[in-house]
Amino acid sequence: MAGYGVDFNVNTVAGRFLTASLYMLSIVLLATYTADLASDLTIAKSEYIISGIDDIKNGKIPFHRIGIPINTAVEDYYLTSISRGVRNFYPLTSAQELYDSLF
């Protein structure tokens, strides 16, 4: 029959110490495994899509997915250095539009 607890009783001090040590070891191992699993899942989700401007230049992200405020130095840099004059980005006219486009 399946019951609760163990089928033996620990009578000696050494046996009680060994049993308590095994319980504590199992708790430490379980906590370590849980922390390692949580860390791996967190790191996997927090990897960046791009690492810098070179990724945009190389086309790692489609140009129509890039939002750039119009009439700014960022737009001038993009047009002269990256797209060579082609306006293939998403133009942002205000800061509020920038925040709204994030969601």
d(CA 68, CA 47): 23
82 contact partners, CB below 8 Å, separation of at least 6: 53, 56, 57
pLDDT at 103: 66
Class of domain 53-101: alpha beta
Residue spans per domain, the chain: 10-47, 53-101
Say how many C-beta atoms besides its own lie within 10 A of residue 75's C-beta. Answer: 16
pLDDT in tens, 11-50: 899 989 998 999 999 999 999 999 999 988 887 666 667 7
| Residue 30 pLDDT | 97
Cβ pair 66, 90 in contact under 8 A? yes
